[in-house]
Structures are given as structure tokens and as C-alpha cells.
Structure 1
Amino acid sequence: MSKVKLNLIAAACENMGIGANGTLPWRLKKEMAYFTTMTTKVSSPERVNAVIMGRITWDCIPDKYRPLSNRVNIVMTQQVESLKSKVPEGVIVVPSLDEAIKYIDSRPDIESTWVIGGSSIYQAAMEHPNCGKIYLTEIQKSFDCDTFFPNIDKQQFHLVNEEEIPEERQVEGDISYFFRVYKRL
């Protein structure tokens, strides 16, 4: 049995939208900084975190931020061979979530694993037995989106408080949001 715990991290608006036309429908600097901190923070300098994403999410990351720095980037796609030749060295390309987990299991230096999108990857991760927590930024506003976060089964995932996650409402410009953590029972 794998020891890898999957953490999902996303920001979603009131209708659970997470994206529109291959980009985020909002610009929230503090929320983006939270994402970066959560997905890079490790307990010691010789450790590193992994981020798992689908090919569309990979393609949506602006070139200057790709691959996401100080993290092992793992991209899931059915077209493994064609993508392998296009990604920078060090980016891992796998056909499935189980293959991603197998790779992470082989790396003793990987501390935490973060699933960063898109919809079908989130869905697969939520249904996976290794899914531990969902870090969801709940944006208190509606945006026009074409990509959505899967429904969270409240029978399986319960809202919890974590010490390092602020509970109070966050405000940037005219948008307010909450950092939420759902833990699998």
C-alpha cells in the first residue's frame, strides 16, 4: 500500500468554477501566494513537494512559471510519449494517477503531494483511496467559468480547522474568500 497522501488544492467561485478559457477568472495575489506557499513548504531543505496536474492545466501555466519552481512537476496525459518530448527536463509525464503515485513512492525526498487540476484530475484524486485533504479557497462571488471543481461529498469529507490556515475572511479588491480544508473521514 502506498504511503503517498494526496492533497487537492484549488480556488473555486460560488458556482464551483475554477477556470475559464484556460485561465483563472480572477486575479488574487494573496491567494496565489497561499497556493505557492502550501505547495512548496517542506520541513527540511533536502525535501521537496510534488504537484500533479493534467496536460491542460500544464498548458495553462504561463511559460515563465513552467515548470512550477521548487516542486517536482508531474503531468498526467494519455499521450505520454508525445508530451515527454515537449516538456523541460525533470518534468515527469505519466498516464495515470496510480503511475504518479508509484513514481512519488520511489522518491524518498518527496514530502507532500498536491493535486492542482484540472476537473477530471481532481475527480480521480477525490475518488482515490490515498486522498487525504482538499484545500479549497471558497471565493464569495460568481464568475463565468467553463471548468468546475467536482462536487465534494460531505459524507466523506468534513470541514476541519488547521492551525496554519487562517479562518477569517480574506479580502482582495472587491473579492472576499475563505481558505477551507476538508479532511477525508
Structure 2
Amino acid sequence: MSKVKLNLIAAACENMGIGANGTLPWKLKKEMAYFATMTTKVKDTNKTNAVIMGRRTWDCIPMKYRPLSDRLNIVLTHQVDVVKGKVPEGVIVVPGLDEAISYIESRDDIESTWVIGGSSIYKAAMEHPNCGKIYLTEIQKSFDCDTFFPNIDKQQFHLVDEEEIPGEIQMEGDISYYFRVYRRL
């Protein structure tokens, strides 16, 4: 069994929407800071974290933030050769989740692995035996979205409390949300 545990991290609104026209439908600074902290924070300072994303998610990250700093960026695509020539040095391009996991296993400097989207990558990761936890920011409002987070199977994933994750309602402007953690049984 692989030692690489997949953590999924996403923000979704009431209708489980996660994106619209290649961008986030909301502007939540504290929520973005939470994402950055969660995906970069390491206990061992000699290690780094990996973020796994699909090519469309990569394309949706504003140029000035690509690749996501202080993290190993892994892009999944069926067009490996095409995409490899378009990404900066150090960004890993592989055809699928298993190849990403194998690559991470081949290194001893990766502490945590985060799946950051989009829909089909989240779905594949949730169904993968290595999936450990889902960190889902549940936005208490509906937005018009064209991309959605897959349904969480409550038979497989249970809501848990984690010490570092605030349990109380968060507010930014007129939007409230909760940081939730679901652990696979």
C-alpha cells in the first residue's frame, strides 16, 4: 500500500459549485490564505508539500501565481507532451493520479499531498484508495457555477474536528462559511 495520503482541499457554495468560467465565483481573502497555509505548511522544514491539479485548474491559476510557490506542482493531463513544453521548469506533468502518486513516492522530501482540482480530479482522488481527508470550505450562499465538487459519500467520509481548523462560522463581507474536514473511514 502506498504511503502517499491524498488530502483534497476545496471551497464550495451551497449548490457544491467550485468555479465559473475558469475562476472562483467569490473573493474570500481569508479563505485563500487558509488554502495557501494548508497546502504549504510543513512540520519538517526540510520537506515540502505537493499540489496535484488538472490542466484546466493549472490554466485557471493567474500567471503571476504559477507555479504555486513553496509547493511541488503536479499537473495531470492526457496530453503530457503538449503540456510539458508549456509549463515552467520544476512543474511535473503526468497522465494520471497513479503516476502522480508514484512520482511523489520516488521522492523523500514530500510531506503532504494536496489535490486542488478540478471536478474530475477531485472525483478520481475521492475514489482512490489513498484518499485520506477532504478539507472543504462550505460557503453558506449560492453562486452561479459551471464546475462542481463531487458528492461526498457520507458512508465513506465522516465529519471530524481537527485542532488547527477553526470550527466556528467565518465571515467575510456578506459571505459566511465553515472550514470542514471529512475523514475517510
Q: TM-score, with normalisation over the residues of structure 1?
A: 1.00
Report SS of the residue matched to 2:107: coil
Counterpart amino acid of residue 38 in structure 2:
M
Report SS of the residue matched to 2:136: strand
**What is the deviation of 1:44?**
2.1
Distance 1:162 1:45 in 2: 22
Alignment of 1:20-169 (within 5 A): 20-169=20-169
Distance 2:128 2:51 in 1: 16
Unaligned runs of 5+ in 2: none
| CA offsets 1:83-119 (integer angstroms, 9 cap, x no match) | 0001000000000100000000011100000000000
| CA offsets 1:43-67 (integer angstroms, 9 cap, x no match) | 1221000000000000000000000
Calculate the aligned-residue CA RMSD, in Å: 0.3
Distance 1:110 1:4 in 2: 9
Counterpart amino acid of residue 106 in structure 1:
S
Percent of counterpart pairs with the same letter?
84
Report SS of the residue matched to 2:88: coil
Distance 1:2 1:180 in 2: 26
**What is the deviation of 1:168?**
0.2
Distance 1:3 1:107 in 2: 12
**What is the deviation of 1:143?**
0.1
Distance 2:151 2:109 in 1: 32
Report SS of the residue matched to 2:144: coil
- Is the deviation greater in 44-53 or in 8-17? 44-53
Does structure 1 conserve the Cα–Cα contact (< 8 Å) formed by 2:158 and 2:183?
A: yes
Counterpart amino acid of residue 103 in structure 2:
Y
Distance 1:26 1:44 in 2: 33
Partner of 1:9: 9
Distance 1:8 1:104 in 2: 16
**What is the deviation of 1:125?**
0.1
Q: TM-score, with normalisation over the residues of structure 2?
A: 1.00
- Count how many residue pairs are aligned between Structure 1 and Structure 2: 185
